[in-house]
Structure 1
Amino acid sequence: MATLRDRLDHVLGVKAADSLADAFDMQTVEDLLRHYPLRYATQGQPLSEEAPEEGAHLTLVGVVTKTDLRPMKNRRGRLLKVELDAGSAKPVEITFFNGDKVSYLVKQGVRAMMSGTVHYWRPDRWNLSHPSYLILPEAGESVENLTAVRGSGDLRGLAQSAKGAEGVDVSFFEREYIPVYPATAKVQSWDVLACVRQVLDQLDPIDDPLPQDLRAERELLAVSDALRLIHLPERKSDIEQARERLRFDEALALQLVLAERRHDAAGRVAKSCPPRTGGIATEFDKRLPFELTAGQKQVIAEISDDLSAPHPMHRLLQGEVGSGKTIVALHAMLQVVDAGQQCALLAPTEVLAAQHYRSLRGMLGELGTAGELGAADNATKVVLMTGSMSTSTKKAALLDAVTGEAGIVIGTHALIQDNVEFLDLGMVIVDEQHRFGVEQRDALRAKAKDGVSPHLLVMTATPIPRTIAMTTLGDLETSTLTELPRGRSPITTRVVPARMHPKWVDRAWERIREEVGQGRQAYVVCSRIGEEEDKPKAKGRKAKPEEEKEGPTTHAARDVFETLSAGALAGLRVGLLHGRLPSDEKDAVMRAFNDGDTDVLICTTVVEVGVDVPNATVMVIVDADRFGVSQLHQLRGRVGRGKHPGLCLLITETSPMGTAMARLEAVAGTLDGFELSVLDLKQRREGDVLGSAQSGTARSLRLLSLLDDLEVITAAQDLAREIVESDPGLTRHPGLATMMRAAVDGERLEYLAKS
Structure 2
Amino acid sequence: MITPDSPVDAVFGKSTNKRKLVREGLGIETVEELLHHFPRRYVTTSEVSDADPVEGEDITVVGRVTSCEVKSFQDRRTRRLSQRVQVRIATGGPSFTMSFFTPYHGAAEKEAARMQPGRYGMFVGKAKRFNGTWQIAGPHSVMFDEAGDGGLADSLKGLLPVYPLTAKLYSFDVQKVVQTTLDLVEDVPDVLPEPLRRELGLLDVMTALRWIHGPDDYQQVGAAQKRFRFQEALVAQLVLARRRSAHAARGARPRTGGGGLLAAFDARLPFELTAGQREVGVQVERDLAQPHPMNRLLQGEVGSGKTLVALRAMLRVVDSGGQAALLAPTEVLAQQHHRSITTMLGDLAGGGMLGGAAEATRVVLLTGSMNTAQRRDALLAMASGEAGLVIGTHALLEQRVQLADLGLVVVDEQHRFGVEQRAALTDKAGSPPHVLVMTATPIPRTVAMTVFGDLETSVLAELPAGRAPIQTSVVPVAEQPSWLDRAWERVREEVQAGHQAYVVCPRITGDEPEQGERDQLDLDDEGEVVAAEKKKLTAVEELLPMLAEGPLAGLRLGLLHGRLPPEEKDRAMQAFAAGDLDVLVSTTVIEVGVDVANATTMVLMDAERFGVSQLHQLRGRVGRGGLPGLCLLVTGAEAGTPARDRLTAVAATTDGFELSRVDLEQRREGDVLGRSQSGFRSGLKSLRVLRDEKTIVEARSVAERLLADDPTLESAPLLADAVARLEHSRQSDFMEKA
CA distance in 2, matches of 1:486, 1:694: 33
Q: 2:724 & 2:447 partners in 1: Cα distance?
A: 20
What do the CA deviations read for 1:107-128 (whole angstroms, capped 9, x no partner)? 773635143699999xxx9988
**Which stretch shifts more, 697-706 or 214-223?**
697-706
Match of 1:31 in 2: 33
User: Mind listing any 5+ residue stretches in structure 2 that lack a counterpart?
Assistant: 72-83, 515-531
| Whole-Å separation in 1 of the counterparts to 2:446 and 2:335 | 33
Cα distance, 1:651 vs. partner? 1.5
Kindly tell me: are residues 698 and 628 of structure 1, through their superposed partners in 2, closer, same or farther at Cα, counting changes over 3 Å? closer
**CA–CA separation in structure 1 for the residues paired with 2:710 and 2:152:** 51
Q: Distance in 2 between matches of 1:341 and 1:692?
A: 30
The CA deviation at 1:34 is: 1.9
Distance 1:331 1:18 in 2: 60
Displacement of 1:713 in angstroms is 1.1
Match of 1:359 in 2: 340
Give yes or no for contact 1:262–1:476 (8 Å, CA) kept in 2.
Answer: no
Instruction: Determine the structure 1 residue equivalent to 2:252.
Output: 270
**Mean Cα deviation higher: 251-260 or 615-624:** 251-260
1:267 aligned counterpart, secondary structure:
helix
Q: 1:555 aligns with which of 526, 534, 538?
A: 538
Q: Residue in 1 aligned with 2:117?
A: 109
Corresponding position of 2:162: 180
Query: How far apart, in 2, do the equivalents of 1:419 and 1:245 lie?
Result: 49
1:254 equivalenced with 2:255 (yes/no) = no
Q: Aligned partner of 1:380: which letter?
A: T
Structure 1's 3 and 180: CA in aligned 2 closer, same or farther, altered over 3 A?
A: same
2: CA distance, partners of 1:714 / 1:199: 34
TM-score, normalised relative to structure 1: 0.79
Question: Is contact 1:67-1:82 (8 Å) kept?
Answer: no
Q: What does residue 608 of structure 1 align with?
A: 591
Query: Within 5 Å, which residues of 2 pair with 1:84-483?
Result: 84=90, 93-96=94-97, 109=117, 111-115=119-123, 132=139, 134=141, 136=143, 144-145=147-148, 162=150, 171-172=153-154, 174-185=156-167, 187-276=169-258, 279-370=260-351, 374-449=355-430, 452-463=431-442, 468-469=447-448, 474-483=453-462
Contact 2:232 2:687 in 1 (8 A): yes
Deviations 1:677-725, CA, capped at 9 Å, x for gaps: 3333334467999999986886632332322323211110112233345
User: Residues of 2 paired with 1:16 and 1:119: CA distance?
Assistant: 24
Deviation at 1:621, TM superposition (A): 0.6
Partner amino acid for 2:191? P
CA 1:550/1:425 → structure 2, altered by over 3 Å: closer, same or farther? closer
- DSSP 3-state at the match of 2:410: strand
Per-residue deviation, residues 229-282 of structure 1 (Å, max 9, x unmatched): 3223344333221111001012112222321232122112322221446x2222
Which of 466, 479, 486 is matched with 1:487 structurally? 466
Correspondence for 1:523 among 502, 513, 521: 502
Alpha-carbon offset, residue 332 of structure 1: 0.6
**1: CA distance between counterparts of 2:353 and 2:491?**
41
Contact kept? 2:96, 2:133, Cα under 8 Å: no
Indicate if the aligned counterparts of 2:126 and 2:139 stay in contact, CA closer than 8 A.
no
- Larger mean Cα displacement after TM superposition, 36-45 or 19-28: 19-28
- Check the 8 A contact 2:674/2:732 in 1, yes or no: no
Q: Distance in 2 between matches of 1:729 and 1:609?
A: 47
Q: Does 1:641 align with 2:624?
A: yes
TM superposition shift of 1:568: 4.6
Task: Give the whole-Å Cα distance in 2 for the aligned partners of 1:99 and 1:206.
Answer: 40
Shift of 1:468: 3.9
Letter in 2 for 1:82: R
Alignment check: 8 A CA contact 1:624 1:650 kept: yes
Letter in 2 for 1:285: D
Which of residues 82, 88, 91 is equivalent to 2:88? 82
Name the counterpart of 1:43.
45
Deviation at 1:6, TM superposition (A): 4.2
Q: Indicate how the Cα distance of structure 1 residues 744 and 46 shifts in structure 2: closer, same or farther if over 3 A, else same.
A: farther
- Residue 484 of structure 1 aligns to a residue whose secondary structure is coil
| Distance change (3 Å), C-alpha of 1:657 and 1:710 | closer
Report the CA distance shift for 1:311/1:611 in structure 2 as closer, same or farther (over 3 A): farther
- Report if the CA contact (8 A) 1:499-1:653 is conserved: yes
Q: Which moved more, 1:506-515 or 1:637-646?
A: 506-515
Match of 1:252, SS state, is helix
Give the whole-Å Cα distance in 2 for the aligned partners of 1:17 and 1:115: 22
Separation of aligned partners in 2, 1:371 and 1:692: 42
Shift of 1:454: 1.2
| Bigger Cα displacement from structure 2, 340-349 vs 21-30 | 21-30
Aligned partner letter, 1:383: V
Q: How far, CA to CA, are the matches of 1:333 and 1:733 in structure 2?
A: 44
CA drift of 1:420 comes to 0.5
Structure 1 pair 211–672 and aligned structure 2 pair: CA distance change class (3 A): same
Q: Measure how far apart 1:37 and its partner are.
A: 1.1
* Identical residues among aligned pairs (%): 49
Q: Aligned equivalents of 2:287 and 2:675: distance in 1?
A: 38
Deviation string for 1:35-61 (max 9, x for gaps)? 2111234312267xxx78889977435
Instruction: Return the offset for 1:746.
Output: 5.7
Whole-Å Cα distance in 2 between the matches of residues 130 and 275 of structure 1?
74
SS of 1:96 mapped into structure 2: strand
Q: Which of 622, 625, 633 pairs up with 1:650?
A: 633
Post-superposition offset of 1:476 = 2.3
SS in 1 for 2:584: strand
Deviation at residue 597 of structure 1 after TM alignment = 5.4
Contact 1:621 1:650 in 2 (8 A): yes
Q: Distance in 2 between matches of 1:15 and 1:654?
A: 41
Provide Cα deviations, 1:708-749, integer angstroms capped at 9, x if missing partner. 323211110112233345555656654224334667986667
1:692 touches 1:698 (CA, 8 Å); kept in 2?
no
1: distance between equivalents of 2:101 and 2:191? Answer: 56
Give, in whole Å, the separation in 1 of the partners of 2:415 and 2:727. 19
Note closer, same or farther for the CA distance 1:717–1:587 as it changes in structure 2 (3 Å cut): farther
Deviation at 1:136, TM superposition (A): 4.6
Structure 1 residue 200 displacement after superposition: 2.8
Tell me the distance in 2 between the aligned counterparts of 1:633 and 1:373: 44
Change in CA separation of 1:697 and 1:564 when aligned onto 2, cut-off 3 Å:
closer
1:555 Cα deviation after fit? 0.3
Tell me how far apart the structure 1 counterparts of residues 326 and 294 of structure 2 sit (CA, whole Å): 15
Please, which of 602, 624, 633 is the counterpart of residue 607 of structure 2? 624
Q: What displacement does 1:463 show?
A: 4.4
SS of residue in 2 equivalent to 1:511: helix
Helix, strand or coil at the partner of 2:95: strand
Shift of 1:640: 1.3
How many Å apart are 1:220 and its aligned residue?
Answer: 0.2
| Alignment RMSD | 4.4
* 1:404–1:464 CA distance, 2 compared to 1 (3 A): same
- Deviation of 1:596 after TM superposition, in Å, equals 4.9
Q: Distance in 1 between matches of 2:445 and 2:402?
A: 36
Shift of 1:129: 5.9
How far has the Cα of 1:639 moved from its partner? Answer: 1.3
1:313-344 Cα deviation digits (max 9, x unpaired): 12121223443211111111111112221111
